[in-house]
Structure 1
C-alpha cells in the first residue's frame, strides 16, 4: 500500500506540473519548457496511469480526448438562465442605453467594462472543488447540449483550477471560437476533400464543438475566452465585474486581454470606433463590443427582462446588407464534382461591392431558408467577403415565386449525381466531367500523383481551352507537333513534356490510385489499397464489403471507392489509360528499417539528390512518417539548400538536424 500511495502522489504531482505548463502555453502564450520536456512529462504520466488505471481521474491531462463517439448530446440544464443581449447599432442608441441605466439607478456616474464581442458559440462550464465536471452550449438559455467530452479537448479550458482554495462550485461562461488561421486551414482541407467549406468562423466553431466524436473536435484547434461567472458556492464574492475578470485569470481561465474599464459612455463610443478599424488585425472574428455595468450591486438593482439583462448591451458594428431579388438559381459543378446552387441576383451594392450572385451552399440550405426563384431577399457578406442570402422577405411574395429542385443529372456532363448518406452535397463522380477536367489533370500531374514534370497550370489551361485534351487519357495521345503550337512551348519543351508523359506510365500503383482523384482517397489510403490489392484490375472489381476488410478503411471511404469504380465513365477512362500503355507498378514491400521506423521527419529547403516527394516516399517505405510542420512530435529535420523558418524552429526545440548528405549516407548504409 505504501508503494501505491507513493505512485498516487507522483501522479498527482505530474498532473499539477502539466496543468501549470498548459496554462503557460495555451492561456498566457508564454511557455517555460520545451515541447520535448512537456512530452516527456506526458509520457511519464501516461505510463503510470496505464500501470495503475485505478488512479485515472477525469481531470487528468491524459483524458482530454477520451471515450467513444456519442449517439446524441444529452441536455445541459443551466443553474441560472443565460440571457441574450439587446443590440445597439449607433452612437445614439448606446447613449440612450447609458441614459436609461442612469435613470433607473438614479446615479450620474457609471463605470462600464467594455469587452470584445467574440463571434463564436457561448458555453457554460461547471467546476466543483476546482475540477471541471461538465459543460454545455447556451441553447435557449435554460437548456443547452452537454458537450463535456468536446470541451475537454480545448486546451485553454483548465481541467483543474489554480490556487489553493478555488470556489467549491462555480459556473463560468465563455465564447468558444476558431482562430482565423485554423479556419482557413480547415476550409482548405474541406475543399480538397470535396466538402462544403464553412461560411464563417462562427459556423466552423459551432460545427466543430457539436461533433459527436470528440477526436474530430480535438483536431479543429478551438479556443475560448471566458467573460463571466456564477459564484454558486464560494467564500470569495467579487464586488465588480472587473474584479471578477481578474479573479478568473488567477483561477487559470483565458480572459480577453483587450477588456477595458471606462468611466463614461463617450469612452465606449471611442473604443467602438477604434475596434471597428482594428478588428481585422485580430486572429479571431468579432462583431462588436459588449458593454456591461461594472458594479455587481448596480447590476442586481437593474435586473433583467425575461430575455435580456438591463445592465449590458451588445454594441454591434454596422452590418453590411442589401435588398435585392432572386432572378434564377443555377447549379455550378466544382473541381471535385460538388454541385453548388448559386442565386443569380439583380445587381445590388453591398459594402461598396456590386453583388450579382450568392452561393446557396446546398439543397438543405435552400430548404432551411426557403429561398425561391423570384423572392426578395436580404443579402450580406459572410466575413465581409462571401456574398450570402441572409433571409427571405416573405412579406413581399406575390405567389408567382418558383420552388427550386436539384437536378438528378450533372448539368455539365449529364452523368448521374450522387449524394452520400449523412451528407448535404450532391456530386458528379464522372472523372471525365468537363467541369472538373482542368483540376483533375493538375492533380493527375502533381508530384504526389503521376509526377509529370512540365505539365504546369498554364499548359493545362491551354490544352483544355484549345480542345487538345478533353480527358486524362488525351494527355497520352498528344504529339510533339501539337504541343509546339502552344504559347511558350518550343520544340525542346514539347519534347521534354512528351518524355515526362512517357516516364509517368510506370509510376507505382499507389500513385496511380491517388492520381485518379477518388474522393476521400489521399496518399495514405492509396498506399493501403495498393498494398492490399497489388493490381488495379483487382481493385476496380472490389466490392464495398471487400474494401471494409482492409484495416484503416471505414464505411464512408469504402462507399466512395466503390461508387467511383461503379461509374461506367470512370471504368472506360481506366481502360483507355491501360490501352495507352499505363502500367502501374506494384508496391515493392520493404522491411521497416531500424532507423526510420516509427519516427517522424520534416523536410526543409531544396534537396539535390531527390525531389521532396521522392524523399517522402523513401521514408514512408521504411516505416517512417513525414509531416509538414515542426512540432514536439518531430524526431528529425532533413535540411536541404536555403532552408526556411523550419530550421530555426527545430533548433529552438533542440530537434536533431540531418543534412541531405547524412540522410543519403543512412540510406546507403541500410541498402
Structure 2
C-alpha cells in the first residue's frame, strides 16, 4: 500500500469512528474544528487521487449530488403499518387475542417509543449501504439514497461483518433542538418558520440538492429488520445487535414480562415524553420472541404481533363558523366543520371532519358553537365536544342537506348506512374526477406524469368525462392547455401508454367498484382469471370465493349490471388494458387444492413463505393464520413455534414438510 493510500485509509477509519461517537453515542472525543480539519485533508487527498474512491468514505456525507426525479422502487419485504390503540382496555384485549392464537404461552414484550418522523427502509448488502427507500404505500417507495447518505447516524458501512441482503427499518427524525435552531435562522432571515419537525424531516428527504439535506440536523433511529432468516431470538436481541452494527437505537426501549409492566411504562412516558429530544406520539409494543412473531404473522395491512399505543391527543377550543359538505368519488357526503384557525399539535387547523349526520346529532354541534378539536391519532382533526355554556341564544340545530351540493340530485341513505350518498355517479363532477384520480393512482394504474390537478384541468376543458377517455387524449388537444408544455405532454402520454401493461388485478382495483380494495381485487382476479368471466359471474358464484361476502358480491354484480359502467369497462378493453391474468399466472392456476385449508409456519428453503402461500391460493387452496379443526394441513418449516405444532397434534391435523407440500402439487 502506498503512503497516500495508507493515509486515506487511516483518515477514513478515524473519521468514521469519530462520526459514530458523536452522532450515535453522543460521546465526542475531538472538537468540531479538529474533525473538520481531518475531513478537509481527506477531501483534498481523494480529489488528487480519484483511483481511491470509496462510496462509504466520510466525505460522501457532505452531499452535493442532485436528484431531479426520485425513482420508485419495490421493497424487498413490505413495510406494514401498525394497528393503533388508545386505551389500556384495547391493549389487554390485544393480549387476549395473542393468547388465543398462540395457545396460552408465556410472552414478553418489547416497548419502544414511537418517534414522529418519516419511515425509512435501509438496504444493506454484505454490510454496505445499497439504497434508502421511503415507506411509500408500503409495497414501494421513492429511492432517496443520495440524501440519506448525508445523515451521520446512518452507517455507510456496518461496524461488524453482516453477510447477506437485509432491510433495516427506522424513522428519520428532526431533533427538537435542531428544529428550533432552523426556525431561529429562518426568522432572522425574514422567512416564515417551519410548522413542525415531522413535516420538515419528511420534506427534507425529498430535496433535490443533497448538500441542503446535509445541512439539516436529521437523525435516524432503527427499530426493525426484514430479510432472510436470522439467528435472533428476540426483538430485544435485535436492538442490541443493531447497536453493535453501528445504528442509533434509542436507549429508552425496554423488555417486560407482563402487561402490567407495559402499562406502567406507558404511564411514565405519557407524563415524561416532553423531556425527550424528539417528538413522540406513543409507544410501540411488540411480542419480544421472534418465534412467536413468526407464528402470529400478518394481516393484509399490519403485523399481529405489534401494536401502537397512542398518547392522548392535544385539544384546542375554537369557534365553528359554518358547515360545508364534500362529495367523495363513491358519492359519499362528508360534512366538514370550518373553524376559526387554531394551533394544534404544531399545525394550524382550519377544518375538521364531522363524519356524518348521526355524529352531528350525537354531539348536537351547531354553527357558531365553541367546540373542542383534537387530532385523531395526531393526524386528522376532529370535533370531540361542544362547550354548551358558550352557545349563542339564537342557535339553531343543523338541518342536514337533502340535495347533492354539486349536482343537486336528491341524496339517499340506505338502511344500515351511516352516510348519505349522491346516486348520480355518472353525472356528478366530484365523483367523476374522484374516480379518475383513483384510476390513475399508484396502487391502481400508476400513470406517471399525471396528478389530481391535471385530472381537474382535463375535465374542466371537456377532454375527459371518464377514465376510458384518458386513452383517447392526443398531443394536439393537450399542448394548448395551460401548464402543458411539450415535455409534460410527452410524459403524460407515455405514462398512459405504459399503463396498458399494468396487471389485471390492478386494472380491476382501478375500476373503483365499491368495497373492492386491493386484496379483494386480487382474490377476484385469481378466482375468475379474466374480466369477461367476472362480468358474467352471479352473486352466488362470487360468494363462493374465499372472504367474498354478500355485500361485496352485491356491489360487483350491481357494477357490471349498470349499462353505462359495463360500456365503460368494454371501452377500456378496446384500448388494450390487461383484462386477464398473464400466461404464467394462468398456467400456475389449478383446482388441485380446492377445499383444503393450509397453515404455513416456519422458515423454508425452496420457497419463501409468501411464495408458498401464493402456490396454495393459485391452486385453489385457502391460507389460514392459525390451526383449527378446519385446517387440512400444517406446512412446517424450520424454527416453527411449538404452539402451532402442539395444537395440530391435539386436533389431529397432519403436519407436512415443504417437500411433501410440493409433492401434493
TM-score (norm 1): 0.50
Please say which structure displays the higher CA radius of gyration: 1
TM-score (norm 2): 0.50
